[in-house]
Amino acid sequence: MVTKNKKPVSKWSAQVFKTLKDADIAQVSYVPDAGHADLISTCLADDHLKTTRLTTEEEGVALALGAWLGGERSVLLMQSSGVGNCINMLSVIQETRSPLLMLVTMRGEWGEFNPWQIPMGQGTAKALEDAGVIVYHVDEAGDLTETVYAASQIAFNAYRPAAVLIGQRVVGFKDWRKK
């Protein structure tokens, strides 16, 4: 799969995109993120998806609720550092018993170079779980597609928030020592 700019898309991004389409996702909201860059580009290139670039992650929670009330399924793409911004909004999802599917690229894990990413990266799963979100963590690209599909099933069939944390072993990390 290639995007409009003819750049090849990472294998896991292409597979996740297909899985989202198979789960009848109609809307994609995102905060720009290098870990999701290929997936975001692929979503933007699809004329059948509504994509919304967010200024902050909690807007995506509200957008997901609006999409659901309007009869559509959505997914929120973000980085682990943005999870803390969503905590208050997740109470709306809990109170309305509405589905929410989040794909979260992780920072602050394996090979992290930026010490400021570590506290939230280490606390992301617990913060989401404490807010009532069902959390799946994936460290192997081969497990990602099945996990995203399973999370979508729980979110949209049980009307629950679910998050797939995509580990740095899948996303990769930058080694700033290499030129």
pLDDT, tens digit, 9 for 90 and up, residues 74-84: 999 999 999 99
User: Residues 27-82: pLDDT tens digits?
Assistant: 999 999 889 999 999 999 999 999 999 999 999 999 999 999 999 999 999 999 99
Residue ranges of the domains in the chain?
A: 11-170
Beta bridge pairs of residue 28 = 51, 75
Q: Is 158 exposed, middle or buried (0-12, 13-18, 19+ CB in 10 A)?
A: exposed
pTM for this one? Answer: 0.91
pLDDT class of 172 with cuts at 50, 70, 90: confident
User: Residues 91-128: pLDDT tens digits?
Assistant: 999 999 999 999 999 988 888 787 888 878 888 999 99
Residue 130 predicted with pLDDT over 60 = yes
* Domain covering 11-170, topology: Rossmann fold (3.40.50)
With the CA atoms of 151, 79, 4 and 149 taken in that order, what torsion angle do they form, in degrees rounded to the nearest 10? Answer: -10
Question: Is 76 in a helix, a strand, or coil?
Answer: strand
Task: Tell me the mean pLDDT in the region 122-142.
Answer: 95
Which whole-number Å values give the CA distances from 136 to 7, 109, 139, 152, 171, in the listed order? 29, 15, 10, 11, 15
pLDDT class of 1 with cuts at 50, 70, 90: very low
Q: What is the pLDDT of residue 8?
A: 46
